[in-house]
């Protein structure tokens, strides 16, 4: 498992248990309650649409 260094980003949501963190690469992570941290972002998968032969 890779090693990450996190710093907490303060938001008003931290009062209700939703916390945001930045890692050493600048990527944003979130934590809901006592669950593990998850990376926030969209999966960017580029797919090519190919036309079938008719």
pLDDT per residue over 13-26, tens digit each? 999 999 999 998 88
User: For position 16, what pLDDT does the model report?
Assistant: 95
State what percent of residues in the chain have pLDDT above 70: 74
Q: Mean of the pLDDT values across residues 33-53?
A: 72
User: For position 44, what pLDDT does the model report?
Assistant: 52
14: how many CB neighbours lie within 10 A of its CB? 13
Q: Residue 36: which pLDDT band, with cuts at 50, 70 and 90? A: very high
Retrieve residue 48's tokens.
């090519």
Stated pTM of the model? 0.67
């Amino acid at each position: 498992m890779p090693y990450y260094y996190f710093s907490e980003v303060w938001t008003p949501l931290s009062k209700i248990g939703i916390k945001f963190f930045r890692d050493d690469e600048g990527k944003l992570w979130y934590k809901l309650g006592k669950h593990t941290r998850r990376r926030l972002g969209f999966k960017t998968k580029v797919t090519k649409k190919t036309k079938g032969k008719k």
